[in-house]
Amino acid sequence: MPLLKRARIEVYLPERDTAAYKRLHKSVESEFIETFGGCTVIRDIKGLYTASNGKVDFDEIRLCYADTPFDLDENFDALSKYTDELRSAVLEASGEESVLIVVHEIYHSI
């Protein structure tokens, strides 16, 4: 069978032990389940970065991703709009300075 080209959307969320973050994580998961039929969650990821003071710092991260039924090239504008809206909602709900959302092509063998 031929490979099917799809777009994967990944949201990298900070792990915080608060009720607000637990709701945020559930909201992103629910959004992906309702919109795309499911998602995958990977916990206990460590993200490293250089802080404004020049020192290396880290965040505990939770990755939530969903594979869409859409070809990235053919649906670039719609996927871009969707991820912009998703990023805005996550930023508003979290109060974070930034949040990483990644979209890339994947190939499914079905």
12 belongs to a structural domain: no
Residue 64 scores a pLDDT above 90: yes
Say whether pLDDT at 27 is over 90. yes
Which of the residue ranges 37-41, 83-87, 92-96 would you say has the lowest mean pLDDT?
92-96
Range of 49's domain?
24-60+68-100
Cβ neighbour number for residue 108 with a 10 Å cutoff: 12
Q: Using pLDDT thresholds of 50, 70 and 90, give the confidence band for residue 28.
A: very high
In a domain, 82, yes or no: yes
Is 4 within a domain? no
The pTM of the full predicted model, rounded to 2 decimals, is: 0.90
pLDDT attached to residue 22 = 93
Question: Quick one: pLDDT at residue 51?
Answer: 86
The count of domains in the chain is 1
Amino acid letter, residue 60 = E
At residue 110, does pLDDT exceed 80? Answer: no
In a domain, 36, yes or no: yes
- Residue 12's alpha-carbon distances to 5, 26, 54, 86, 105, in angstroms, are 23, 13, 23, 12, 17
Q: Is residue 31 part of a domain?
A: yes
Cβ neighbours of residue 33 closer than 8 Å, sequence gap 6 or more: 39
